[in-house]
Chain A
Amino acid sequence: MRIHLKNSLVVILIIVLISSLYFLSQAVQSAEQFNRIYLWLFGASILAVFILGIVIIQRFVWLFTKRRKNEPGIKLTSRMVKTFVFLSLPPVLAVYLFSTQFLNNYIDSWFDSKTSQALNDSLELGQLFLDVQTTQALTQTKTIAQKLSEIDSPRQAIYLERFLDETRASGLTLISASEKVIEQASIDILDLNPSLPPQSVYRNVRTGNNYARIEPKQGSQLQIRTLVKVDNVLDVANSYRFLQGLFPIKDEYSTLAFNIETASVGYNQQKYQREQLKKTFNIILFLVLMISMLLALVRAFSSARNLVAPVKLLSQATTRIAEGDYSQSIPVSSKDEIGFLVKSFNTMSSQLAASSALAHRAQTDAVSKQWYLENVLSHLSSGVISIDTDFRILMANSAALKILQLSTKDVINQNIKHLNLMNIGLTPFVDLLLTKLNDHSDEWQQETLITENESRKVLVVRGSRIPDYEQDEGGMVVVFDDQTIINQAQRDAAWSEVARRLAHEVKNPLTPIQLSAERLRLRFLDKMPEQDKDILDRSTQTIVSQVENLKTLVNAFSDYAKAPELKREARGLNKLIKEAVDLYFISHAGIDFKLDLLEPEPTMYIDKVRFSQLLNNLIKNSVESAKDNNVSIRIETAINERIDNILVITFSDNGQGFKEKILKHVFEPYETTKVTGSGLGLAIVKKIVEEHGGNIKAYNHVQGAMIEINLPIYQR
């Protein structure tokens, strides 16, 4: 809307300007209707040029501002404006220069000396002729004045009519010294107010001179005016009067003389105005030049902008496409090559948009798959890491971090040797990986042992080389599992099997052996000589006692191997602990039990019998580990500080504690520090705890051993 208004204004301005120039040229050619408005037309032209100039300045300022902002398409606009200007200015300037020169020469050619001389001669001739006429008129006037002077003043007026008839004057006027008309005699009886000469003429005549001049009359007629002094000789006071005579000139002479006068005046006027005429034409031509230049500039700007507009739009759209916005469509404003280019661009952008959508979808799918893969990896219990050929770890799942006990920043994008720095216990693992990477093994599997906080972990590590096309520079993906628990479970299962078989195979023959030994003793003890009797007695006693020991051992193995048929119920632990303590307190009077049990106690979901066995085993262990009868056992229960629904049961004693070398395997069967122990007590305890979903740890505290059991609290 604004652009249309602007364009309309410019068009109106141009029309006004051209009209003004046309009227100016008409006015210069002395057209009457334009002569009066010449200055206004000139002012309008100047104003129009001024406004056009302002429009051009505004365009240049616009161009300069846009150039500084480095807007798209502006350099092309500048170049096109320059081209237009340089194309249009030289011809316009050439036309202007040649026109001014031609006009000046042409105007000068109007005034040649021959014409001038001819006109002057004609004028002189006319003047000579009229001078004769004037002299005659003056002579006649003077004659009449002479006659009048000889007549007394009051009767002079009476003779005036008679004297008029004696001359060829058209009118005689008698004028007083005070320049008042006294009497008039005229051929035209309707001419009551004769024209009088100016005062200066009277002054001149008073001094004794006579006045006679040709004067223009109405139209092309001429007349001769004469004025002479009439001295009243008869008057004593020497008074005087004036006599004016008006003499007509014959029409044929008058017309010819007037024509000569008109031609001469016209020629002189044009000659006089020659320079002004040149200046005026030069000014008008300059205006034409200015207008042509300014219009060329306006047109240059307009054309440049029209041509560059689609290019600018293309540039802006390309920038947006480069920024990722493919929804660009440019209106097709022409059917030329630019229009074709715009159409092609629109097609290209729509195709790009479609391709981008596909690519985006593919990317989304890839991200989704990656997320899915990461999700799967994060839920794997196996540790997974990928390593590039530069030994840099590119990816590690959460299980890997957990197994290696490292954080993400310690692992991701770090060289695998960096793992050594973070944890020296990982050296075997790192060495294994380095070896396999250097070997370029395609697929491999190997066990390795790492140490973590003084505990050992058995890792089963499997590696597979990544082909080059999957990763820029190849590399390796490594999967590893913590086999420690599995190994432990396998060992436990093996021990259970051993215990079960041992109990089964050993327990059956023990009773016949024991009975046979007792029967031998009863049958032959009394019959044996005194020296043999003692031997038999000690031998059978030994057999019986050893069988008893074997039975105890077999029973322990049998308990360990027993299948976990639990009869769990929801109940508290405090009562069970107190019953176990009471049993020992009665049978072992010297034991100092210290109980610190949680009140109110949490409800646990346990097998009462199995748990009593657990408590008995632990108390028994503590009692047996004491150096003397001064036994002190402390039993505490508390809620786990980190996990709310876990009850922590702590047994601590003042015994010898666990030997360091077996501390790590204390819960494994047949690990004992006691001479008489079966080595199954703590193994059974651990088994019961695990059957109840808990875990168990063994420590040495300042004096004695400490067992910590974590059990889940019953959730209703």
Chain B
Amino acid sequence: MIYKIPTVLLLLLVINSQVLAKNNVITLKTAIQDNSITITPLLSFKSSNQIKEAIDNGTRVQIIAKAQLYEPHTWWFNSEIDNKKTYFEISYFTLSKLYVIKNKETDEQLGFINYEQLWEEFEKLIAFKFNKPQNKNTWARFRIVLDTGALPTVMQLPVLLNSDWDIDTPWFNQKIDIQ
């Protein structure tokens, strides 16, 4: 009995953190084309004023979009089929007062006049293209996390302890309908 209490508390904490997360993945759109499958997320994503202030003051904020295809197993670890990451760097271009988001893989960048507009169009910049899996029991999961390690060193610890910087989404799992 004495071991059950911490376990239950831990579960409650995990569930609570999932429920109370500020940002969430609403759904994953999948588009199958020939031998490839493209996954794009639909996000409910907001940033805080603290992050905006940091960006306005020249801090480059890096965000990682992680996607994974896997085959789930009951009572055992999932078998990973493939996984991809995309790094996005958000910065403020002072000379023209633009919020610039840059895909660090492709070096493509977009400039936004408005900070909110950036986040509104953020999800449209994310697309993961995988080889079409053979297993019909394939699931995809996706999340967005703040790359704390890419922040300036002096900010890393305060960010870790500041809930305004908690923009991570929980993992969103969705089964892929492979015809």
Contact = CB atoms under 8 A, between A and B. Distances in A.
Contacts of A648: none
A257 B95 contact: yes
Given A268-B58, A272-B57, A28 B108 contact: no
Nearest to A278: B154
Contacts of A198: 110-112, 117, 121
Given A213-B96, A272-B57, A39 B148 contact: yes
A501 B158 CA distance: 141
B113 A261 contact: no
Contact of A266 (B53, B58, B113, B149): B58
Given A200-B121, A272-B53, A283 B157 contact: yes
For A42, A213, A283, the residue with the greatest tally of chain B CB atoms inside 10 Å of its CB is: A213
B160 interface: yes
Nearest to B98: A213
Contact of B124 (A199, A266, A273): A199
B94 A265 contact: yes
B155 interface: yes
A267 B94 CA distance: 12
A38 to B, nearest CB: 5
A441 interface: no
B59 interface: yes
A28 B57 CA distance: 19
Contacts of A28: 153-154
B149 to A, nearest CB: 4
Given A28-B154, A273-B154, A215 B93 contact: yes
Interface string B125-162: 00000000000000000000000111011111110100
B105 interface: no
A273 B152 contact: yes
A42 B150 CA distance: 16
A133 B90 CA distance: 26
B34 interface: no
A683 interface: no
A277 B154 CA distance: 5
B11 interface: no
A34 B149 CA distance: 10
A34 B150 CA distance: 11
Given A28-B154, A38-B153, A269-B59, A200 B112 contact: yes
Interface in A256-297: 257, 260-261, 264-269, 271-273, 276-277, 279-280, 283
Contacts of A123: 94-95
Nearest to A127: B95
Contacts of B53: 272
A27 interface: yes
B107 A218 contact: yes
A416 to B, nearest CB: 80
- The binding surface of chain A is classed by DSSP as helix
Interface residues of A, number: 46
Contacts of A126: 95
B98 A215 contact: yes
A693 interface: no
B111 A272 contact: no
A190 to B, nearest CB: 16
A196 B171 CA distance: 31
B154 A216 contact: no
Nearest to A218: B107
Contacts of B153: 27-28, 30, 34-35, 38, 280
A39 B147 CA distance: 12
B110 A38 contact: no
A213 B124 CA distance: 22
B93 A38 contact: no
Contacts of B59: 269, 272-273
Nearest to A271: B57
B108 A195 contact: yes
Interface in A180-235: 195, 197-201, 204, 213-216, 218, 222, 225
B96 A130 contact: yes
Contacts, number: 112
A279 B157 CA distance: 10
Contact of B111 (A27, A213, A218, A271): A213
B157 A42 contact: yes
Nearest to A123: B94
A35 B154 CA distance: 9
A36 interface: yes
Given A268-B58, A272-B59, A39 B111 contact: no
B80 interface: no
B120 interface: yes
B98 A200 contact: no
Contacts of B110: 197-198
B155 to A, nearest CB: 5
Nearest to A40: B149
Given A200-B112, A200-B113, A269-B59, A276 B155 contact: yes
Contacts of A280: 153-154, 157
A527 B159 CA distance: 181
Given A199-B124, A272-B59, A264 B149 contact: no
A272 B153 CA distance: 13
B45 to A, nearest CB: 16
A199 B112 CA distance: 10
B49 interface: no
Contacts of A127: 95-96
Nearest to A276: B154
B35 interface: no
Contacts of A277: 154
A64 to B, nearest CB: 29
B161 to A, nearest CB: 10
A269 B112 contact: no
Of B100, B110, B114, B121, most buried by chain A (CB within 10 Å of CB) is B110
Contacts of A27: 153
A476 B34 CA distance: 133
A60 to B, nearest CB: 28
Interface string A221-252: 01001000000000000000000000000000
A212 to B, nearest CB: 9
B95 A214 contact: yes
Interface string A120-154: 00010011001000100000000000000000000
Given A261-B93, A277-B154, A39 B54 contact: no
A216 B93 contact: yes
B156 A38 contact: yes
A36 B149 CA distance: 5
Contact of A272 (B58, B94, B100, B148): B58
A130 B95 contact: yes
Given A130-B95, A216-B93, A39 B113 contact: no
30 contacts: A28-B153, A30-B153, A38-B157, A39-B157, A42-B156, A130-B96, A198-B110, A199-B121, A200-B112, A200-B114, A200-B117, A201-B113, A213-B111, A213-B113, A214-B93, A214-B95, A215-B96, A225-B111, A261-B93, A264-B58, A266-B58, A268-B58, A268-B94, A272-B58, A273-B59, A273-B154, A276-B155, A279-B154, A280-B153, A280-B154
Given A214-B93, A276-B154, A280-B157, 12 more contacts: A36-B149, A38-B156, A197-B111, A200-B112, A213-B111, A215-B96, A215-B98, A264-B94, A268-B57, A269-B57, A271-B57, A283-B157
Those 6 A-B pairs whose CB atoms lie nearest each other, nearest first: A272-B57, A269-B58, A265-B58, A214-B96, A200-B117, A276-B154
Interface of A: 27-28, 30, 34-39, 42, 123, 126-127, 130, 134, 195, 197-201, 204, 213-216, 218, 222, 225, 257, 260-261, 264-269, 271-273, 276-277, 279-280, 283
Interface of B: 53-54, 57-59, 92-96, 98, 100, 107-114, 117, 120-121, 124, 148-150, 152-158, 160
